[in-house]
Structure 1
Amino acid sequence: MRNTKGQYASPEDKQISGEMEELLGRYLSSLQQQKERTKESTIDTRRREVRYWLAFCESNDIDPLAATTEDVKGYIQVNTHLADTTIGSYYRSVQSFYSIVENDAADDRLELANGHPCPDKRTIDLKQDYDIFENKAEYKLQHDLSAGDIEGVRDGAGEILALKPEQVERLFDSVPGKTRPTKERNEIAVRLNWYTGCRSVELSRLRIENIDWDECSINVRSAKLNVKEHSGQIRRDVYFPEEFRFQLKRWCTRVRHSFSSAAEPNSGRILVTTHKNEMPGPQINNVVKQAARNAGVQRPLRPPNPTPDDEVKEWFVTTHRIRRSAISHWVNDCESLDLHQVRRIAGHARIQQTMAYVEDDDAQIARDYQKAMQ
């Protein structure tokens, strides 16, 4: 039952009454009739997670067939201690329950007294309302993984590990550097890594004369594509936010050439060292890794729990991780960017490479399709 302030409570366990079990069975039967091609794994997930919802309803004296949007929001609220992907899955199971019940024309018991409480983002938007990234396995945080999980994860694996935007932004204020110009150069490097999604060697290649200050873009040569096979894609434009323009321009026109004895004013590589006209990719990577340590988000991936004598062979936060995080953000969070645009910015030769950053959500596809066809 809710407390004296009317706040929702989590059930002490996930057990439900016989009446709720019957309702769960009717829902699952209708789900399988309405969506015959539903995978067994999906049915198992819905069975488990709809039971959680029904247990919540029962513990808070809510009739599931008369639940309101506020009831669903209460359910989200009591689960905010869980991982984003878990909350997203729980919420999609609630949406599935009501979509199936709403569309059932055969079972007289499956009638909604108040209609669908959460049909789309106009009623509940996990990202906007709760800062929850509901359908991105890419945002599975490294510190949520067990040592055994970490040992099996590599960049080529199906699970893409990525930082959330707010985690990356913590790096900006945590860059290393003994002098103010060095810290400024390092912050520019980390910001360009995140804003452009460039690989470390591409960051090293970025040149002042290739900046379009009006468009906030930089033309760069790809570090991966073969000029004979991809002549039209060997160079691409990457972009940075308008609010970063002043900081970048100040570095390029006022600070950079006084910082480096090897740099020419208004031309050459954007990122330089005190004695060289180019900051090499490995050095940029070291700056990113140290910034992550300073920000408290750096951890070893391999070995997962090193002893004082162990050499860390792979760190979680690197320039490549920032690149993957940027692409994940563009694909999953930025509705104004479509996949083909992200592919071009990322410098992928094939759309399939960009698709690897998308978390499939069949229920969301169905809802978005219906909305598009209205």
Structure 2
Amino acid sequence: MQPSEFPVLSRPSARPALSGAGPGDFTEAWLRNRRLSEHTRDAYRRDVAGWLAWCAARDLDPLRANFLDVNSYGRSLEATPAARSGQPLTPATVARKLSALSSWYDFLVKLRAVEANPVSGADRPRVDRDHSATVGLTPEEVDTLLAAAEAETGPTAARNRAAVGLLADLGLRVGELVSLNLSDLGAERGHRSVRFVGKGGKPRRRALTPSTAYAVDAYLTERATTQGVAVHELTGPLLVTATGARLDRHSVFRLVRRLARTAGIPAWAKLSPHSLRHAFATTARAEGVPLEDVQDAMGHADPRTTRRYDRDRHNLDRDPAYVIWAARARRRS
């Protein structure tokens, strides 16, 4: 770490007000010190900005805040309606915001801007690891959504088929999908593949299924023809808009809901690209894919996270008691 990369800070005994020292500099230095996707960086940046604004409204120096202040902020967040739904923020959202703030303060502790992290002693919301608010899809609903994409015509139809195919067959996060570049496509030992940087800055690689590889090839062939170049001459993002800009996550959200509505899926208005990720995990487990393989495919550090995505995990058909009983019956026969 080069000292010149970070703002010059006073010792804790003479802490300056953060607003006077340039909070954006602290935040950007903290983010540069982390291996994060751009989407996560933006979210963390907003989380810290929210805390600084809350402190400023109360004439509170963030460098002198204690766990009681953080608790008050947490209660304030819990009473704040979400911009889209108008409903209070969920415990998981509040916990995520406080987690980002805790990381920010850990960074300031290392820089000796504060003596201790005030978030570490705060009362954070309890988040049930066995629950997810994402609305899932059954395998049959995924099939109808893909069929709706197949039936589409128009200038963006080929791109849309490639996008939903990647979401459904690989269970990608929407941020991973829109960050893909043409240079990420490849081939390894007979497999068509795609490489990308996953959550936490971890390099990932996945195999493309034959149907998704076909959809991607068809899209790129159409795109190259439109541009009057060969496919291998295409550069830049994998998925682009009509103007050549990178497709953004909001467009993918709208795409999934529009296709789901066309497919007649009842919960279409509540679906998101993450719904396809949940369906990927549930279907993989239902088809007998070992938990650790699903965990690796989804890029989860903790298998408990993967289990939360498995919507069919409480199905009594999968109770191990049946397997044990069947094995005992075979031994006795």
* TM-score normalised by the chain length of structure 1: 0.46
Whole-Å separation in 1 of the counterparts to 2:162 and 2:283 = 20
- Match for 1:364: what amino acid? Y
- Whether 1:237 and 2:205 are equivalent positions in the alignment is yes
- Whether 1:364 and 2:322 are equivalent positions in the alignment is yes
Q: Give how far 1:259 is off.
A: 4.9
Whole-Å separation in 2 of the counterparts to 1:373 and 1:347 = 39
* Cα 1:343/1:370, change in 2 over 3 Å: farther
- Whether 1:340 and 2:313 are equivalent positions in the alignment is no
Instruction: Write out aligned runs for 1:170-319 (5 A).
Output: 170-175=144-149, 180-213=154-187, 214-222=190-198, 224-225=199-200, 227=201, 234-252=202-220, 254-259=221-226, 265-299=233-267, 315-319=269-273
Whole-Å separation in 2 of the counterparts to 1:206 and 1:293 = 26
For 1:331, which of 265, 276, 285 is the aligned residue? 285
Per-residue Cα deviation, 1:310-369 (whole angstroms, up to 9, x for no partner):
xxxxx3321011111111111222x2x321111111111112211222336132342476
Whole-Å separation in 2 of the counterparts to 1:286 and 1:274 = 16
Q: Give how far 1:186 is off.
A: 1.0
Other structure's SS at 2:205 match: strand
* Cα 1:352/1:182, change in 2 over 3 Å: same
Q: Give how far 1:255 is off.
A: 1.5
Indicate conservation of the 8 Å contact 2:180/2:239, yes or no. yes
For structure 2, the 5+ residue unaligned runs are 1-89, 93-127
Could you tell me the percent identity over the aligned residues? 21
- Match for 2:261: what amino acid? R
* TM-score normalised by the chain length of structure 2: 0.51
* Cα 1:164/1:240, change in 2 over 3 Å: farther
Other structure's SS at 2:247 match: coil
* Cα 1:271/1:367, change in 2 over 3 Å: farther
Equivalences, count: 198
Q: Give how far 1:299 is off.
A: 2.5
Please name the residue that 2:42 is paired with.
none
* Cα 1:204/1:186, change in 2 over 3 Å: same
* Cα 1:161/1:182, change in 2 over 3 Å: closer
- Match for 2:283: what amino acid? H
Indicate conservation of the 8 Å contact 1:175/1:294, yes or no. no
Q: Give how far 1:246 is off.
A: 2.7
Other structure's SS at 1:269 match: coil
Other structure's SS at 1:186 match: helix
Please name the residue that 1:85 is paired with.
none
Instruction: Write out aligned runs for 1:4-83 (5 A).
Output: none
Whole-Å separation in 1 of the counterparts to 2:227 and 2:182 = 15
- Whether 1:158 and 2:93 are equivalent positions in the alignment is no
Other structure's SS at 1:181 match: coil
Whole-Å separation in 2 of the counterparts to 1:297 and 1:285 = 15
Whole-Å separation in 2 of the counterparts to 1:372 and 1:202 = 46
- Match for 1:255: what amino acid? E
Q: Give how far 1:372 is off.
A: 11
- Match for 1:281: what amino acid? R
Whole-Å separation in 2 of the counterparts to 1:373 and 1:282 = 56
Other structure's SS at 2:195 match: strand
Whole-Å separation in 2 of the counterparts to 1:177 and 1:189 = 15
Based on CA coordinates, which of the two structures has the bigger radius of gyration? 1
Whole-Å separation in 2 of the counterparts to 1:272 and 1:350 = 33
Indicate conservation of the 8 Å contact 1:176/1:291, yes or no. no
Whole-Å separation in 1 of the counterparts to 2:259 and 2:161 = 9
* Cα 1:194/1:178, change in 2 over 3 Å: closer
Whole-Å separation in 2 of the counterparts to 1:246 and 1:177 = 16
Other structure's SS at 1:219 match: strand
Q: CA RMSD in A?
A: 3.6
- Match for 1:158: what amino acid? H
